[in-house]
Structure 1
Amino acid sequence: MTKLSTQKITLAALFISLAAVGGMIKIPLGVASIALDSLPALVAVLFLSAPLAGTVAALGHLISALFGGMPLGPFHLIIALEMWAAVWIFAKLHAAGKNVLKWPVFVLCNGVLAAIPFYFLLSPAFFYVSVPGLLVAASINAAGAAIVMPFMNKVGEKVW
């Protein structure tokens, strides 16, 4: 296990802060916690390990849910774990050079697979109503990250 450097912890805190700001930018698609909170976590994979980028996503979701009034209560802990996993997978695909595959996999994980437990925990109706909005939100987050990442790569090359 590698030790976390002060620089990595600082970067993680910065991206968590950006996720909190993104969490305040709500996408009006039904569930109040749909926001731009995962965009910074997707960009974080350029600088952080997969587990740390996943942690940015999980904490970003929890902060976003707090801003939205925690409409799903403790279920947000499940969603935070799902967000962690979706960004972890995205980061692993990115590290493996799967630059085309990582985008649809993230959108599928975040937009469909993450909603499956709620089919059983809440209701099939909740699943069917939430998936279209989740797909749109995941797509918006991914598109934003896809636009920002090339510029951040250039910044990273100058800084590192």
Structure 2
Amino acid sequence: MKSMRMATAGMLVALTAVGAAIKVPAIIGSVALDAFPALLAAVLLGGSGGAIVASIGHLISAMIGGMPLGPLHFLIAGEMALLAFVFGFLFRRGKRWQAGMLFVLGNAFAAPLPFIFLMGKAFYLAIVPSLFIGSVLNTAIAYIAIPRLARFVEPYFSKTGEGQ
């Protein structure tokens, strides 16, 4: 069972690399479709699985984009991990609307807040529109994919499933 979870997490991390190559036009080139696999992982594997996929996925996306913010991407990876964890926590408890809204608002507006102090208000105002669009797209793709994938994966991960 543990190997099934690890294989699923590995496939979702690989999917982040594909999403990382699909960029949303931005002032900083690291806004991409790399978060939806983390949202899938947060629902299918739990919050900690989503957090791991989110942090690794963001770092892969940043590397593909040339690491424009350097070591600050580790801060962003931590923020992405937290957002994916909370998304999974809420979604799995039936608060799906709140999970999506929290992810979009957290990723677009709250996560870049430290950069006001590090890089200035102009940077924040320049990056927020692209982050908002990217967050909405990532969340929409996840909401489309989750019910379709859950029916295949759920028997292996549920407490009553035969894959245990």
Into which bin does the TM-score normalised by the smaller protein fall? over 0.9
- CA RMSD between the two structures: 1.4
**Aligned residue in 1 for 2:137:** 140
Is the contact made by 2:43 and 2:50 (CA closer than 8 Å) also made in structure 1?
no
Given candidates 22, 34, 37, the residue that maps to 1:37 is 34
Return 54-63 or 42-51, whichever deviates more. Answer: 42-51
**Aligned residue in 1 for 2:49:** 52
Query: What is the DSSP-based 3-state SS (H/G/I as helix, E as strand, rest coil) of the residue aligned with 1:101?
Result: helix
Query: What is the DSSP-based 3-state SS (H/G/I as helix, E as strand, rest coil) of the residue aligned with 2:28?
Result: coil
Alignment partner of 1:85 is 2:94: no
Could you tell me which amino acid in structure 1 is paired with residue 50 of structure 2? A
Whole-Å separation in 2 of the counterparts to 1:158 and 1:145: 20
Residue 157 of structure 1, CA deviation: 4.2
Matches within 5 A, 1:65-76: 65-76=62-73
Give aligned-pair identity as a percent. 39
Residue 46 of structure 1, CA deviation: 2.9
Residue 142 of structure 1, CA deviation: 0.3
**Aligned residue in 1 for 2:4:** 7
Structure 2 unmatched runs, 5+: none
> TM-score when scaled to structure 2?
0.91
Could you tell me which amino acid in structure 2 is paired with residue 137 of structure 1? G
Whole-Å separation in 1 of the counterparts to 2:130 and 2:73: 17
Return 119-128 or 150-159, whichever deviates more. Answer: 150-159
**Aligned residue in 2 for 1:64:** 61
Whole-Å separation in 1 of the counterparts to 2:43 and 2:82: 17
Whole-Å separation in 1 of the counterparts to 2:92 and 2:146: 14
**Aligned residue in 2 for 1:25:** 22
Q: For this pair of structures, how many residues does the alignment match?
A: 157
Alignment partner of 1:124 is 2:121: yes
Whole-Å separation in 2 of the counterparts to 1:46 and 1:117: 28
Runs of 4 or more consecutive aligned structure 1 residues displaced over 6 Å after TM superposition: none
> TM-score when scaled to structure 1?
0.93
Structure 1 unmatched runs, 5+: none
Alignment partner of 1:106 is 2:116: no
Whole-Å separation in 1 of the counterparts to 2:85 and 2:27: 26
Query: What is the DSSP-based 3-state SS (H/G/I as helix, E as strand, rest coil) of the residue aligned with 1:115?
Result: coil
Could you tell me which amino acid in structure 2 is paired with residue 56 of structure 1? V
